[in-house]
Amino acid sequence: MLAAPDSHPPTGATPALRNRPRRNRRLPALRAFAREAELSPSRLVLPLFIHERGDDVPIASMPGCARLSPEGLLREVEGALGEGIGSVVLFPAVEDGLKTLDGAEATNDEGLVPRSIRALKARFGELVVITDVALDPYSSDGHDGLVAPDGRILNDETVEVLCRQALAQARAGADVVAPSDMMDGRVGAIRDALDAEGHTEVSILSYTAKYASAFYGPFREALDSAPKGGGKQTYQMDPANAREAERELALDVAEGADMVMVKPAGPYLDVIRLLRERTDLPVAAYQVSGEYAMLHAAAERGWLDLRSTALESLLSIRRAGADVILTYFARQAARWLAQ
């Protein structure tokens, strides 16, 4: 009598599989069908450093970035628009002689930022101009808020100055004001101030979860805005916390924020995802100077490929849930994506 055929596959053979995820990875078109996150220039915002001087000054720790002169700013924006980048955010490097304890230059209608806004809007009507609302570039103390004699950061007094700063920017033509200071109540106060003066169409992009991060070093070099005494832990968020971001989000939404942001981006992908799941508002993320500098430094040493790692980092931020990414790679990424 013949033995029954062995129903088991030979040792070492692959068992029959109904589900093979690799089938959707086999060809480029199939991979495109299954792709969950897309990266495009329209999702990117280019941060730009500006100053009063007549020449552009490269920033050593941020290859490819510079403090831009008024003419350099126009050239940079023209190039960005040609590559599909439709939004920029401005950060001023303020002359030391204009920095004071009260940060009054931040509210000057004829200051560097308002004049730059007017120049950009006159030349590039389609450009979205975003402005930073905080006092650190203007403060002789280097803090985002007013500093009391005992070293405390004064919340309510700072908010009053921030409202005047946002108004100066709105009068000049800013499309979006972005308070990055992390003072309590500033979103609602700025919204009220803007509306009272008729700037009802100016949006607020709130830095909802801005962490007291170690990744900001090159940015502070670019603006010469490092705090002179103490850190920013009493007003920026603890890097250990995620649930706290939910509280900040609820407050910003209630106060009238149009968009919310997480900063930095890469080390806080979990927080980006958390905010994405808790709000229908657009979520932005800021890939900060330290993230940018690390990739460049590794690429210069031949340890990483700059193009592939930069694009992967941006795609990861999109995958986590960011609708908008502020990144110094914006122009390079747009060119790479077009190739």
Each residue's pLDDT tens digit, 215-227: 998 888 887 777 8
157: domain range?
A: 39-338
Over residues 82-92, the mean pLDDT reads 98
In a domain, 2, yes or no: no
Decide if 116 contacts 73 (C-beta within 8 A). yes
Burial 163-198 (b: 16+ CB within 10 A, else e): bbbbbbbbbbbbbbbbbbbbbeebbbbbbebbeeee
* Eight-class DSSP state of 279: -
pLDDT of residue 234: 94
2-6, 82-86, 126-130, 159-163: which range is least confident on average?
A: 2-6
Higher pLDDT, 38 or 226: 38
Q: How far is CA 108 from the centre of its chain?
A: 25
Residue 70, amino acid: P
Each residue's pLDDT tens digit, 64-86: 999 999 999 999 999 999 999 99
pLDDT of residue 9: 56
Q: Which of 99, 228, 232, 263 is catalytic?
A: 263
Cα–Cα separations (whole angstroms), residue 316 to 231, 287, 289, 291? 30, 11, 17, 13
pLDDT of residue 10: 58
pLDDT of residue 72: 98
First to last CA, the chain: 68
In a domain, 303, yes or no: yes
Each residue's pLDDT tens digit, 132-188: 999 999 999 989 999 999 999 999 999 999 999 999 999 999 999 999 999 999 999
- Angle between helix axes 155-172 and 112-123 (nearest 10 degrees) is 30
248 is in an annotated binding site: yes
Domain containing 197 — which CATH number? 3.20.20.70
User: Tokens 């972005």 appear where?
Assistant: 178
**Residue count (the chain):** 339
Local structure of 211: helix, strand or coil: strand
Look at the pTM and tell me if it is higher than 0.85. Answer: yes
Residues 6 or more apart from 207 whose CB is under 8 A from it?
A: 178, 179, 180, 181, 182, 261, 263, 286
Cα–Cα separations (whole angstroms), residue 313 to 82, 127, 208, 271, 285? 23, 26, 21, 16, 12
CA distance 197 to 296: 44
In a domain, 167, yes or no: yes
> 256 — phi, psi (to 5°)?
105, 20
Each residue's pLDDT tens digit, 265-296: 999 999 999 999 999 999 999 999 999 999 99
126-130, 214-218, 299-303: which range is least confident on average?
A: 214-218
Show the tokens assigned to 103: 């940060």
- Report the mean per-residue pLDDT for the chain: 94
In a domain, 218, yes or no: yes
User: Tokens 């490819």 appear where?
Assistant: 64
In a domain, 311, yes or no: yes
pLDDT of residue 1: 47
- The DSSP line for 64-98 is T-EEEPHHHHHHHHHHHHHTT--EEEEEE---GGG
Q: How far is CA 72 from the centre of its chain?
A: 22
Cα–Cα separations (whole angstroms), residue 220 to 119, 135, 287, 293, 294? 25, 13, 15, 13, 15
Answer whether residue 190 shows pLDDT above 50.
yes
In a domain, 321, yes or no: yes
In a domain, 19, yes or no: no
Domains contained in the chain, number: 1
In a domain, 31, yes or no: no
> Is 99 an active-site residue?
no
> Is 210 an active-site residue?
yes
CA distance 283 to 31: 26
